[in-house]
Structure 1
Amino acid sequence: MSTGQPPSTIGLTTISRTVASLAVGVVHTLERAVVGEERMRTSRGNAWEAVCADRARADRRAELNRLVEELAAARAAARADERQPVS
């Protein structure tokens, strides 16, 4: 029986994680250098952009619903005019 520890090896997943970590660090540093500190994307900024996008979608949806309602009312009025007898 062997009581020794198995030899420590670097696996493929360790290398992948290391490369990914380094890539994230490089991208982060590059973004800071290119856009500047004040224009860095943050989770707060991303959340605010998402809120604004949701509001814009809701506004467009409400406008579309209003237009559909107007079209349905105009169509109903036109049908009602067709049904009235001509005197």
Structure 2
Amino acid sequence: MAATAPTEPVGFANVSRALVSAAADLVTGVQRRVVGDDKVRTARDNAWAATLENRAQHEAQAELTREVAAMVARRRLVRSS
């Protein structure tokens, strides 16, 4: 006697997952056709872009901190004169 796994009823979640998966495949296929395989962004591309954006944001914040520190130093110099 072979045991069989109980069959799962097709529920809303399963249908939703299948629909989202099919839509994602369709969008990916259209994107590849329109822009070409070599120009499709990957997760690695997105991660690298996020890394570069974080670096630029940190550099801008550091520059602002330096500018504020210079303004405070000039103000102290003027007050002490």
Query: What TM bracket, shorter-length normalisation?
Result: 0.7 to 0.9
Aligned to 1:67: 67
Q: Whole-Å Cα distance in 1 between the matches of residues 14 and 58 of structure 2?
A: 45
The two structures have a TM-score, normalised by structure 1, of 0.78
Percent identity, aligned pairs only, is 37
Count of equivalent residues: 77
CA RMSD of the aligned region, Å? 1.8
TM-score normalised by the chain length of structure 2: 0.83
Q: What SS does the corresponding residue of 1:10 show, helix, strand or coil?
A: coil
* Structure exhibiting the larger radius of gyration computed from Cα positions: 1
Moved over 3 A (4+): 5-9
Structure 2, unaligned runs of 5 or more:
none
